[in-house]
Structure 1
Amino acid sequence: MSSVAGQIIKGSLWLSGARAIVNALGWASTIVLARLLTPDDFGLVAIGTTIQAIIMAVTEMSLAQALVHHRAPDDDHLNTAWTLGFLRGLVIAAMLALAAHPLALLYEDARLEWVIYAIAFGVFLGGLSNPRRVMLQRQLIFWQDFLLNVGMRLATVIVSIGVAVYYRNYWALILGGMAGQLVGLAISYMIMPFLPRFGLRHARELWSFSFWLTLGQTVNTINWRFDQLLIGKLLGRSELGYYSVGDNLAQMPTREATNPLRLTLFPAFSRISDDPARLRAAYQRAQGLITAMALPVGVGFALVAEPLVRVAMGDKWLPAVPIIQALSSIFAFQTFGSVVQPLAMSLGATKNLFHRDLWVFFVRLPIILTGLFFGGLPGLVVARMVSGTVSTIMNMELVRRLSGLGLRTQFGSNLRTLGAIAVMIVGVTACRRLAFTAAHPGPLYLISEVIILAATGAILYLGSHWLFWRLQGYPQGPEKEVRDLLGQALARLRRPQPLRSR
């Protein structure tokens, strides 16, 4: 258990470093592009990328997960995975190219046709990706993901900002993404050289694991993307721009805080999947740590959203603030039970994940439609919060069936985190109402507001979390995980280095 935990921590550190850099670049890019482009530009591209995401999900084969789950994949498995990926990319690119003109007519915007042509080319590039780098993930080695993610994001940011400065239109978003894909493709083959050959020898074997994941991914993507298509058609491109940018920014803090750990869990859980007690303990440790990180980041981002958006993106993006505040909070809350995906995959229970996704879809669909048609964009945001709460409970129920951990146990192990979050919300809200009352604040005022509120929230959260932990007698939990990790890091720093002989 300690060996696996050590590898998880080491892998998480690589991914955390990558996500920190990617996150910083992403923030810088979003701020610059939001000032150079209009909500209409973001809305137009969102229509194309949403259509792409739905088609990609319908044809998703989850080949990387199948290779990780396989006990002993060889070169024939890799060739099969590459061939399937190539054929899929080619077919989807052709489908998008054929649909480009009809979709432009449907949305009454000729610009959309060329946007979809460009997206189709990007999909074809994605089909050429190198499956061999999955072999490092199987061994809980993730330095290659650091190089890949940072390289892709750096290329995307440079090209996007360059095109935006010169042309000031939506092509900055399209060409930036395409540049990132090209760089990522090159890096993947440099890290793990691989000369693919056409072959479908193990197609049925890989597909047998991926089938239910593909169905679940299809339902899940349609579930979380169809609202953007409706907004683009019913409310217009500008409203979709506010919604898509707000949704993306709201996801970012929670996603970046938890993805490094979450991405290591599937291969780690797979190693101990034949030992229910160890798997259950590992799940509780991982879920507690993820929740303790995600809740303060997501809720804290919601608390500083208004001054942050005003100083970083300008007042023209103020309509996105309520979207960010609501969705950032619900995304943070949804980390309860969020580790169910790697847990179920490690147990081969992919059919259970599909059933979960199907139930979430049928529950979420009427809620979203009701909110949108009766309340417009604000109604849709409220519906997202309601449906997010329901899907969280469904995830926790699936965890109970897979691991035997009841809902009370799952919530109970995070009571200190919930208490600390309550203290943080009250303290930051009071601080803002008492200290920041200017009617027309300037940039320096807004920057100081963000810094002071963020620092206040961090101090209140960490301090109250430690106090609750102490009052309970220092039980096992995320506090002990962090303390042990810091202790190991300090011990390594203090350890004398051996002298090298000349």
Structure 2
Amino acid sequence: MPDTMDTAIPAPTPANGPETVPPPASADVPGAPAEPASLAGQVRSALIWRSGSQIVAQMVQWCATFLVIRILAPADYGLFAMCQVILTFMAMLNGYGLASGLIQQKEISQREVRQLFGMLIVLNGALAIAQLSLAPLASAYYRQPIVGDMLRVQALLYLTTPFIALPYALLSRAMDFRHQAKANITASIASASAALGGALYGLGVWTLVIAPIVLFSVRGAMMTWSARSLVWPSFNFRGAGTIARYGGVMAAGQLFWFLQSQADVFIAGRSFSPHTLGIYTTSLFLTQIFVSKFVPPLNEVAFSAYARMQADPDAIGRAFVKGVRMVMIVAMPFYMGLAATAEPLVLTVLGDKWRETAPVVQLLALAMPFMTLQVLFTPASDARGRPGIGVRNGATGALILTIAFLVGVRWGPTGMGIAWIAAYPLYLAISAWRTLPVIGVRAREIVRAVASPAVAAIAMAAIVTLVDRSLPPLDAHWRLAVLVPVGAAVYASWMGLFARPTIRELIAVVRKQPTPE
């Protein structure tokens, strides 16, 4: 289930006729026409609130998550991963595509808001019933009866979705993320408390079931209150064709995203034991922290910003290249550093019982830069009114990755890691060939944007590896304490010497100063 954002706008005013609610273009004058400077200020504010809240929320969750991982067994995470395949499949139909359709429109009416709420209620009610029906089949496929019991309880998640997706759509139109930030942080604290309490109390795998229910329940209540979006739902869907069609295309794209993101767990879950599957999925969790936790909020802000730039296609292209450059400055050292320090990091953070994840983490970290760049494409092409591009890219990825996983599963978690490395560069190349002309960007611009941080991060990883091999025998935490500062110093020095314009641009963005194009 996708992360939701955190913003606040005035509630849509009741309409007697076809009164519309235009997206506010200024924090000071709701509904005013957007000026470039105003939009730039809104984007910066949105990034601060969205990314800032994401960092705070994730820090809270990670503190609890890593403590819980040390308490629970790998088999618990393997069982939970089996359930996640079903939950992720259902989540692609939960109506977030409809919400995106509302965001993308230039104007919306009160009637459309009520129709969206009605659609969300119908969709998610049907999904809850469908999951209850699928629970016995999932238990039989994985040969784990407890999986069915977990899925029945997790059906409660769908009851919260309408109260998150509707305010998400309304608030995103305003690009004011302050109230959503409060909802995210509060929900994260509640969820982390539930997770840690459950693990300490001895609930085992049920800890992983309860925590998301708490997370989404608290977030839904706060989001609805902040957006004042508790309207009477309309189940008369006449005239909602535009939103429904856009949402349908987005759902199709999410279907292929599901196939590529869950194919590995679906395939491995049948072949691996719960313990081995837990090793693999926990390795994925560690390596995908950046792309799954930090990039999605950036994409949410980017989609809203790109949608406001539709009259200036060149501006979308320039913004996309700048976004790629800023993201990869942070992503590349994270992934290469993770590959270079996998063993001491795993032993320090997770403990010795997770030692088997270290070689898998090293492999997966090498594939993640390609995945990070890939997921940046979709918001730009969607905002250009071409969501079909993302659908075709998703279909391509689903095919390539599924074939790779079917081959790699024979060699266990290590084989799955090699499958990621082999498949993702090909997937990215095809997606770039298809998407960049739509965005208005040339491939060489992307190469230039990525080159400096990539070279610096590879040099950093090589030096960190050499330093690690030259160290005397040390405990894992002491090794990590030496290697992390070394890596940070090498990367910063390299960028300072060979990529000063990029660093100046990053500093200008942080300081809210104009940046040269």
Common fold: TM-score over 0.5: yes
Match of 1:348 in 2: 385
Moved more, 395-404 or 420-429: 395-404
Cα distance change, pair 195–406 in 1 and its aligned pair in 2 (3 A): closer
Question: Any conservation in 1 of the 2:291–2:371 contact (CA below 8 Å)?
Answer: no
Quick check: 1:52 aligned with 2:76? no
- Offset, 1:487: 4.7
1:270-349 aligned within 5 A: 270-349=307-386
Match of 1:103 in 2: 138
CA–CA distance in structure 2, aligned partners of residues 414 and 112 of structure 1: 42
Change (3 A) 1:96 1:61: same
The alpha-carbon deviation at position 22 of structure 1 amounts to 2.0
* Structure 1 CA distance for aligned equivalents of residues 115 and 338 of structure 2: 43
CA–CA separation in structure 2 for the residues paired with 1:257 and 1:104: 33
Counterpart in 2 of 1:457? 487
Deviations 1:426-484 (A, max 9, x none): 2211221112x42xx4xxx43332233222212211211121134xxx4xxx4232222
**Distance in 2 between the 1:179 and 1:344 partners?**
34
Asked whether the 8 Å contact 1:130–1:188 carries over to 2, the reply is no
| Corresponding position of 2:456 | 420
Which letter maps to 1:109? Answer: Q
Q: Determine which of 233, 252, 255 is the counterpart of 1:218.
A: 255
1:257 to partner: Cα distance? 4.2
Q: How does 1:81-480 map to 2 (within 5 A)?
A: 81-129=116-164, 131-199=166-234, 200-373=237-410, 375-435=411-471, 437-438=472-473, 441=474, 445-470=475-500, 474=501, 478-480=502-504
Per-residue deviation, 1:387: 1.4
SS of 1:71's equivalent in the other structure is coil
Q: State the Cα distance separating 1:422 from its structure 2 match.
A: 2.3
Counterpart Cα distance in 1 of 2:295 and 2:488: 17
CA contact (8 A) 1:60 1:218 kept: no
Deviation at residue 334 of structure 1 after TM alignment = 2.9
Q: TM-score, normalised by structure 1?
A: 0.90
Query: 1:486, CA displacement in angstroms?
Result: 4.8
Structure 1 position 174, deviation (Å) = 0.5
Contact 2:94 2:161 survives alignment (8 Å): no
The answer to whether the Cα contact below 8 Å between 1:298 and 1:328 also exists between their aligned partners in 2 is yes
Supply the distance in 1 between the matched residues of 2:216 and 2:511 (Cα, whole angstroms): 39
Question: Aligned partners of 2:482, 2:494: CA distance in 1, in Å?
Answer: 18
Contact persistence 2:94–2:124 (CA under 8 A): no
Question: 1:431–1:333: structure 2 CA closer, same or farther, 3 Å change rule?
Answer: farther
Give secondary structure in 2 for the equivalent of 1:87.
helix
List per-residue Cα deviations over 1:378-418 (Å, max 9, x = no partner): 11110111112122212322332213423223102332222
Quote the Cα distance in structure 1 between the aligned partners of 2:511 and 2:193. 39
Q: Which amino acid aligns with 2:492?
A: L
Q: C-alpha separation between the residues in 2 aligned to 1:354 and 1:257?
A: 23
Residue type matched to 2:197 in 1? G
Query: 1:337/1:253 Cα in 2 relative to 1: closer, same or farther (>3 Å)?
Result: closer
3-state SS, counterpart of residue 124 of structure 2: helix
Deviations, residues 331-351 of structure 1 (Å, cap 9, x unaligned) = 123333532111111111011
Partner of 2:507: 483
Counterpart residue number, 1:75: 110
Q: Which runs of 4+ in 1 moved over 4 A?
A: 58-61, 486-489
Instruction: Pick closer, same or farther for the CA change 1:136–1:118 going to 2, 3 Å.
Output: same
* Structure 1 portions without partners, runs of 5+: 490-502
Are the structure 2 counterparts of residues 487 and 121 from structure 1 closer, same or farther at C-alpha, using a change threshold of 3 Å? closer
Identity rate of aligned residues, in percent? 20
Q: Is the 8 A contact 2:99 2:166 kept in 1?
A: yes
Distance 1:61 1:145 in 2: 16
Distance 1:143 1:168, change over 3 A: same
In structure 2, do the counterparts of structure 1 residues 5 and 430 end up closer, same or farther at CA, with 3 Å as the change threshold? farther
* Shift in Å, 1:227: 1.8
Distance 1:164 1:386 in 2: 37
Residue in structure 1 matched with residue 4 of structure 2 by the alignment: none
Conservation of the 8 A alpha-carbon contact between 2:89 and 2:258: yes
Q: 1:363 to 1:337 in 2, by over 3 A?
A: closer
Query: Which residue in 1 is equivalent to 2:15?
Result: none
Relative to structure 1, the CA distance from residue 485 to residue 195 in structure 2 (aligned partners, 3 Å threshold; closer, same or farther) is: closer
Deviation at 1:173, TM superposition (A): 0.7
- 1:93 offset after TM fit, Å? 0.7
CA contact (8 A) 1:294 1:332 kept: yes
Distance of 1:102 and 1:279 partners within structure 2: 45
Inter-partner Cα distance in structure 1 for 2:87 and 2:323? 33
Is structure 2 residue 44 aligned with structure 1 residue 9? yes
Q: Following TM superposition, by how much is the alpha carbon of 1:300 offset from its aligned partner in structure 2, in angstroms? A: 1.6
Partner SS state of residue 198, structure 1: coil
- Other structure's SS at 1:224 match: helix
Take 1:49 and 1:67, find their aligned partners in 2: how far apart are those partners? 28
Change (3 A) 1:360 1:109: closer
Tell me which amino acid in the other structure corresponds to 1:132: P
Change (3 A) 1:60 1:326: farther
Q: Check the 8 A contact 1:303/1:429 in 2, yes or no.
A: yes
| 1:59 to partner: Cα distance | 5.7
- CA shift, 1:488, in A, is 5.0
* 1:12 partner amino acid: L
Q: Any idea what SS the aligned residue of 1:129 has?
A: helix
Query: Does the aligned pair in 2 maintain the 1:100–1:114 contact within 8 Å?
Result: yes
Specify the SS of the correspondent of 2:288: helix
| Aligned-partner residue type, residue 482 of structure 2 | I
1:76–1:202 Cα contact (<8 Å) kept: no
* Counterpart contact for 1:254–1:297, Cα < 8 Å: no
Structure 1 residues 108, 281: closer, same or farther in 2, change over 3 A?
closer
How far, CA to CA, are the matches of 1:406 and 1:376 in structure 2? 39
- CA drift at 1:101: 2.5
3-state SS, counterpart of residue 92 of structure 2: helix
Change (3 A) 1:10 1:58: closer
Question: The residue matched to 2:372 in structure 1 has which SS?
Answer: coil
Alpha-carbon distance in 1 for matches of 2:248, 2:199:
41
TM-score, normalising length: structure 2:
0.87
Paired with 2:100 and 2:292, the residues of 1 have a C-alpha distance of: 20
